[in-house]
Copies of this chain bind each other. A is one copy, B any other.
Amino acid sequence: MRNDHREVNELRKVTIETDYVKHPEGSVLISFGDTKVICNASVEDRVPPFLRGQGKGWITAEYAMLPRATEQRNIRESSKGKVSGRTMEIQRLIGRSLRAVVDLDKIGERTIWVDCDVIQADGGTRTASITGAFVAVVIALGKLVNKKTIKELPITDFLTAISVGVLPDGNEVLDLCYEEDSKAQVDMNVIMTGKGEFVELQGTGEEATFSMEQLQKMLSLAEEGVSDLIKLQEEAIGEWSDVIRTKAEAAK
């Protein structure tokens, strides 16, 4: 039995609230149970130096937690004067994942800055960040289409992330909350497209290992979760869903 009585393949309650704050081009508050992340997408009309003059764009992400998003207060990274390895890993993962479904050649010399700020943490903050960030980016790029700044929505497929893992009792489960995550033998993050392709796969057995069979079971659970999450993303982005689905189909 899971500590919150969920089935092994059951997501926590997931909600996606759009237009959460007013300034960003795309702004989302995503919740996975008690995990809450503000995902803001900002459009900047220039690209980093290594891309200048190539006519294409860039997406980059930053991730942070409020100091008291967690049970114990964490020291603010701005006070420490440096970003932790964990934070860097997560923000590199978010950026890389988004770049897999955005056609950077079609956004002009623009940078999409994605800020994922965790205001309350209960496990799965990085996968919630990616799932919410995708929605914020679609909304931001949709506005560029509506303003005719760019011709068409340059999104090639849905993008969704979910955690799976192996609990101490040996059961594979979907969408671990913090209590489960802190005890899990294996922790795996799966980032997938709407077509069911992998964008990123990161499985870790800290002080433990996992077999091919366990890997297969975890991947099956992830696939189930992903399809539920895509439905929620579709609701959040409304009419843009059809555009994305059509593009994804055409690319098959």
* Residues on A facing B (Cβ under 8 Å): 21-24, 27, 34, 36, 38, 40, 42, 44, 62, 64, 66-71, 73, 76-89, 91-92, 96, 99-100, 104, 113, 115, 117, 119-120, 157, 188, 193, 195-212, 215, 219
Asked if residues B62 and A23 are in contact (CB atoms below 8 Å), the reply is: no
30 A-B residue pairings within 8 Å (CB atoms):
A21-B120, A22-B120, A23-B120, A24-B73, A27-B68, A62-B67, A62-B76, A64-B76, A64-B78, A66-B117, A73-B115, A76-B78, A76-B115, A78-B87, A82-B82, A83-B85, A85-B89, A89-B89, A96-B204, A99-B206, A100-B205, A117-B119, A193-B209, A195-B209, A198-B203, A198-B205, A198-B210, A199-B205, A201-B201, A201-B215
Asked if residues B206 and A69 are in contact (CB atoms below 8 Å), the reply is: no
If A23-B68, A206-B99 touch, does A79 touch B83 (CB 8 Å cutoff)?
yes
Chain B contacts for A215, CB-based, 8 A? 198, 201
Asked if residues A21 and B62 are in contact (CB atoms below 8 Å), the reply is: no
Asked if residues A73 and B42 are in contact (CB atoms below 8 Å), the reply is: yes
Asked if residues B23 and A42 are in contact (CB atoms below 8 Å), the reply is: no
Q: How many copies does the complex hold?
A: 6
Smallest CB-CB A-B distances: 9 pairs = A85-B88, A77-B78, A197-B209, A201-B203, A78-B78, A40-B68, A24-B68, A42-B73, A21-B120
Complex: A212 Cα to B200 Cα, angstroms: 12
Asked if residues B198 and A119 are in contact (CB atoms below 8 Å), the reply is: no
Asked if residues A100 and B210 are in contact (CB atoms below 8 Å), the reply is: no
Chain B contacts for A202, CB-based, 8 A? 201-203
If A73-B42, A92-B85 touch, does A68 touch B100 (CB 8 Å cutoff)?
no
Chain B contacts for A104, CB-based, 8 A? 207
If A82-B78, A82-B81, A99-B206 touch, does A44 touch B73 (CB 8 Å cutoff)?
yes
Asked if residues B62 and A36 are in contact (CB atoms below 8 Å), the reply is: no
Asked if residues B66 and A79 are in contact (CB atoms below 8 Å), the reply is: no
**Closest Cβ of chain B: how far from A24's Cβ, in Å?**
4
In the complex, besides A27-B68, A85-B89, 17 extra interface pairs with C-beta distance below 8 angstroms are A21-B36, A21-B69, A23-B69, A23-B71, A62-B76, A62-B79, A81-B81, A85-B91, A85-B92, A99-B206, A100-B205, A100-B208, A117-B119, A196-B211, A197-B209, A197-B211, A201-B215
